Structure formats: C-alpha cells, structure tokens
Amino acid sequence: MAKATTAGPAPQRVSLLRVLGPAHVWALGVGIVLVGEYTGWNFAADKGGALAALIICWVVGLLYTSVAMIDSEVTSTVAAAGGQYAQAKHIVGPLMAFNVALYLVFAYTMLEVSNAILVADTIKSYAGEGFGDWHYRGVIATVIVVLAALNYRGVLMTLNVNFVITAFAYLAIIVLFFSVQPWSQGTVLKLGEMVTPDNALPYGWIGVIAAFHWGIWYYLGIEGTTQAAEEVRSPSRALPYGTMAGMITLLIGASLTWYVCASLLPWQYLGFTYFPLLDAGKVTGSPFLETLMFTATILAGIASANGCINDAARAFFSLGRDRYLPTWFSAVHPKYRTPYRSIVFLVPIALAFAFIANLGQAITFSILSGVLHYTFMSVNIIMFRNKWPLGTIRRGYTHPFHPIPAVVLFILCVVTFFAIFLGYGAQLTAMVIFYIIMSLWFHFYRYQYVRRGDQFTMPWPKPKGY
C-alpha cells in the first residue's frame, strides 16, 4: 500500500505591519528634520551673512515644498517600503533604483551620525573638562545602539516615541519665540541690529549662493516620510497629509528660529556655533529657557537619529528583498515585524563614521547624498507623468502645477551642487566617484542575481508609447 502523504500548509511570508497614520508620518518627517533648526542651518550665516540665512530659509523651503509635492503623488501611488527606491524601480529602471537606494542609505546614516555627534557635543559643552574622550564616544555609541534597539522592537512604538519628543522640541522653539517678546523693541531682541548694511549680505550675492550648502539642513529628511509607505494604513491619505503638514510645520519653525537667533546673536558668532538655539536661550539670561533649549537640543538630535535608523534600514531592506543585495538583508522579524537584520547591519557602519568624522563633515556627506536624490526626483516625476498620464492609473494624490515643481527643484539642485563645490569640492568628487564604482559593480556583477520579473509589483498597464 502506498504511504499516504499530506501536504502541509504553505509557508506564509512575514511582511511589515500596516499600523501607521498621518500623525506618525508627520512625526517621522518632522522628527528627522527638526534637528536642522537646532544646528547646521546657521552655518549659512558664515557663508553669506544674516540676511542670506533668511533668503536661503525660504528659497530652500521652495525646493523642499517641491520635493514634498512630488513625493506625495508618486509614493501614494507606489506605496512600498524604500520610498523613492520603489519609485525609481518602477519608473526609471534597476540601475537608477540601486543608486537611489544608496543615496537614501548614506543620507540617513550620515544624518544619524550627525545627530549622535550633536547630542555628545551638547552634553560635553555642559559637562566641562571631566567629560573625556571615552565619555564622548560612550554617548555617541549609546544614542546609536539604544535607538537601533528601539527600531528593532517595532515601528509603531518607535514613531510614537518620535511624536512625543518631536512635539516637545518644536514647542520649545515656540516658547522661546514668545518668551523674548518678538513684537516689541525690548531689552532682549535688538530688532534694529538684526539686519544692517554690515551684516545683511557682507559677501554679496555669491555669499547667498554659497549658503545653499547649509540651507539644505533646514529641511533635509522630510522626504523620509515615504520610507514607511508600506507600513501606513491608508497611503493615499496619510502620506500627502503627513508630508505636507510636516513641511508647513518646518517652514514656520525655521522662520521663527532665524528670527530669534539672528536677533540675539551676532552674525559672525551665529555662523560657527554648533548650538544656535541653545546659545539664544543663554543670551536671554533665563535659566528656564537655557535648560529648556538644552533639553530640546538633545531631544531633537535623538528624534532625528531615531527616524534616520528607521528610514535607512527600510531602504536597505528593499534592496535585499529585490536581490539587489543579498536576500539576508530582507528578513522580517517574526514577532516585531521589522527589518531587523538591516537595522543591526547598519549600526557598526554608523558607529565607525561617528568616531572618525566631525559634525561638519557628517552633515556635508548627508547633504551630498540628499541632493543627488532630489535631482533624480525632478526627472522621475516627469517620466512618471509621461509614461502614465493622468487617468491611466489610480493616483492617491495628484500634485498641482506640474511641471513647475520639477523644474524649480532641478534648478535649485544645480545651484546647491555649485555651492557645495565651492566649499567641499573634494568630498563632492569623491562621492560621485564612489557612486560610479558602485553602479559598475551592480551592472556587471550583482544584477545577474536579480529576479527581474519579481521586482515590479504594481498592477499598471504598459507605459504610454511601449
């Protein structure tokens, strides 16, 4: 008699959980970016003066508004982990997708490094001489490892924490703004000295162009909202609402930050301090405001690092899932439903950079990868609209004024590259060479392992003209 066989149940694929709403998207985007209002943006004053920092605040705000509009349309339509990587994969092609994922991983990892350094520098500035090198490195390691462990345990808990500490850091800016009575020419704010012929544009308009480099730091990372697209309950609603609400929040916060800091601090000092808002709190003479801004600076750095770990890991996870990298990186934790291997793998990389780079270098490497990615986005949305015109596929959101945002974004990216070249030409060249080498590696070696039919997951008709 033949032995009876019974087929067991087919193994189920463990996937990411859809648990996030618009508030979590807001917390992810604003949480990553808000640290840029506590440090980094102010280096634009060193390049071009006090007024240049304000001009850049609004002009770069236009750049990022274009980014947010474009991202909201494409990501609400291609709602997959990896965000812009998934967009490039479906719209442009595999080589572009591979590069975009690398841009994302390096931009967020170096931003995470910058945040850990900022937290350590902030504590060191108060601890004094007793805060030695081992203490400094210990703070950096603690920030990176503890936040990686939090991300390991689940995205919902991670972004709930981000929402709370991001809201606190943002409210601290509001409290500082109203505490110095900005509507009056009082004893705190010297409104008549804020923008003068001497400090407005001391280097002329070339200084404004050079300031583009650091102006990116006002908003760098808002596009990270798309990295959680696969974990959002309603992508067509949560992604546009959360992203655009985050952009409005940041535009208001950046303007208030500039107003207070430019009023309280000399532009020469503002251009090189690592702690503009903390120093503004000190200048008021209020122990409460100083303590508030000290706490908020640390929390802003933690919130940003927390979001960066989330975003970098999901971009890396997406590369593994599509076999652009070994599939080992695509594992999802059976209990916590997080890309735990990608989270753990990126920890020593972040630690290595954090121990060898200073804050300015880390910020620059993050900005370089970010601007490369934004340049791609301007081309991506035009290709998307040409291949699948309005009405051919269902879009969760359609951004207005096309193609004006794409054109504005491309022009401002070109100007930013020129600004970076003025101050960090060697780093820009090295970064471009690195991405060229990685592209060659992918094309001639890694792409043979990719299952080409499995990487396209959207049920779209053939593109127009194909």
Residue 218, Cα to own-chain centre: how many angstroms?
10
Residue 381, Cα to own-chain centre: how many angstroms?
20
Scored b (16 or more CB within 10 A) or e, 25-48 reads bbbbbbbbbbbbbbbbbbbbbbbb
More confident residue, 293 or 455: 293
Q: 214: closest CA among 48, 446, 87?
A: 48
Question: Percent of the chain at pLDDT above 70?
Answer: 92
**pLDDT tens per residue across span 398-445:** 888 889 999 999 999 999 999 988 888 888 898 889 999 999 999 999
Whether pLDDT at 381 is above 70: yes
Task: Report whether 112 contacts 312 (CB < 8 A).
Answer: yes
More confident residue, 165 or 23: 165
**pLDDT tens per residue across span 314-347:** 889 989 988 999 999 999 998 888 899 999 999 9
Does 113 map to a domain?
yes
Total count of domains within the chain = 1
Whether pLDDT at 40 is above 60: yes
What does DSSP assign to residue 395?
-
CATH code of the domain containing 301: 1.20.1740.10
**pLDDT tens per residue across span 384-411:** 999 999 888 888 888 888 899 999 999 9
Whether pLDDT at 15 is above 90: no
293-319 average pLDDT score: 92
Does 458 map to a domain?
no
Task: Report whether 22 contacts 248 (CB < 8 A).
Answer: no
Does 70 map to a domain?
yes
Q: 446: closest CA among 348, 320, 336?
A: 320
Confidence of residue 188 (pLDDT cuts 50, 70, 90): low
222-249 average pLDDT score: 80
Q: For position 112, what pLDDT does the model report?
A: 93
Q: For position 89, what pLDDT does the model report?
A: 87
Tell me the C-alpha distance between 220 and 44, whole Å. 14
Q: For position 277, what pLDDT does the model report?
A: 95
Domain holding 151, by residue range, is 23-449
Does 16 map to a domain?
no
Whether pLDDT at 16 is above 70: no
**pLDDT tens per residue across span 168-185:** 999 999 999 999 887 776
Whether pLDDT at 11 is above 70: no
Confidence of residue 10 (pLDDT cuts 50, 70, 90): very low
Q: What is the dihedral of CA 194, 198, 204, 208, to 10 degrees?
A: -30
Tell me the C-alpha distance between 394 and 460, whole Å. 9
More confident residue, 36 or 359: 36
Whether pLDDT at 217 is above 50: yes
Q: For position 336, what pLDDT does the model report?
A: 87
Does 14 map to a domain?
no
> Sign of the CA dihedral 269, 274, 277, 280?
negative
451-464 average pLDDT score: 77
Residue 151, Cα to own-chain centre: how many angstroms?
16
Q: What is the dihedral of CA 62, 257, 245, 307, to 10 degrees?
A: 100
**pLDDT tens per residue across span 251-289:** 999 999 999 998 888 888 998 899 999 999 999 889 999
**pLDDT tens per residue across span 48-95:** 988 999 999 999 999 999 988 888 888 878 766 667 888 888 888 899
Task: Report whether 328 contacts 194 (CB < 8 A).
Answer: no
Q: For position 79, what pLDDT does the model report?
A: 67
* pTM, rounded to two decimals: 0.87
Tell me the C-alpha distance between 214 and 422, whole Å. 12
Whether pLDDT at 43 is above 70: yes
Mean pLDDT for the chain overall: 86
222-244 average pLDDT score: 77
Task: Report whether 25 contacts 239 (CB < 8 A).
Answer: yes
Does 460 map to a domain?
no
For residue 421 the two structure tokens come to 């070249």
